[in-house]
Amino acid sequence: MDSRPQETPTFNSNVNPQQESPQLAAAGLTCSRSRRSTYALWVRDIAVSAVASILFILFLYQPVRVEGTSMMPRLENHDRLFINKFVYHFEAIDHDDVVVFHYPLDPSKSYIKRVIGLPGDRIEIIHGQVWLNGRKLREIYVPARYRDSDSMAAMIVPKDCYFVMGDHRSISSDSRAFGPVERSLIYGKAEFVYWPAKDMGVVR
C-alpha cells in the first residue's frame, strides 16, 4: 500500500468570481445548503430535548414551597423543592422518607413530615425518645436543640396508615397530634431542594 501523502490540489486565489465554472458554483451552493441543514437539525434537536426535559420534570416532579419550620434543620421556611409525585406508584413508602400529604383534618392544606412508623409498627415515645418496635430509634436528623421531652403511649400503626413526625420536635404538629396519616392522603416524596442555594441538595 502506497503510504505517501496524496497531493492536495491548489487553487488560484485570484480567480475572478465571474469566471468560476458552473461545477464550482454548484459545489458551493451544495456546501452552503448542507451547513444550513446541519444547523437546523442541531437547533431542532436542542429544542426537542429542552421540551422533553421540561415535560419530564413537570410530569414527574412538582415544585413546592415549604411554609413553616417544623422540618428544620433540613428544610427551612420558604425553601423551594421538587417532590416526586409518582415514585410511590412503583415503590413502597419507607422509614425516614420525607413525604407530602393532605392534612387529615383539612385536606385543602398540605403538610410535609418524615415517616417514622409503617403499618403494623409499634411506636412509643418516652420523654422525647422514640421507640420503634421495642428499639430506641437513632434519629441523626433531629439535633439535640430541636428535641422535646414529650411522651406518648405505645400504639400500633393501623393498616394503610403511616406515623409521621417533624424533625423540629418541639414545635411540630404531626401524628402525635392528629394521628397516623392514611396512605390515600400521601401524594409525594420530597426529593431535592433547589432554592435557596445554601439549602440546595437532596432531601434526606
How many Cα atoms occupy the beta-carbon half-sphere of 22 within 13 Å? 0
Among the options 13, 109, 113, 175, which is catalytic?
113
Q: How many CB atoms lie within 10 A of CB 66?
A: 21
Residue 143: alpha-carbon gap to chain centroid: 24
122 neighbors 134 (Cβ within 8 angstroms): yes
The reply to whether 113 belongs to the active site is yes
DSSP secondary-structure letter at 112? E
Amino acid code (one letter) for 45: D
Q: Which residue reads 446541519 in cell numbers?
A: 38
DSSP secondary-structure letter at 143? -
Among the options 37, 49, 53, 70, which is catalytic?
70
* The C-alpha cell that represents 74 in the structure block: 433540613
CA distance 62 to 190: 10
146 neighbors 73 (Cβ within 8 angstroms): yes
User: Which residues are the active-site residues?
Assistant: 70, 113
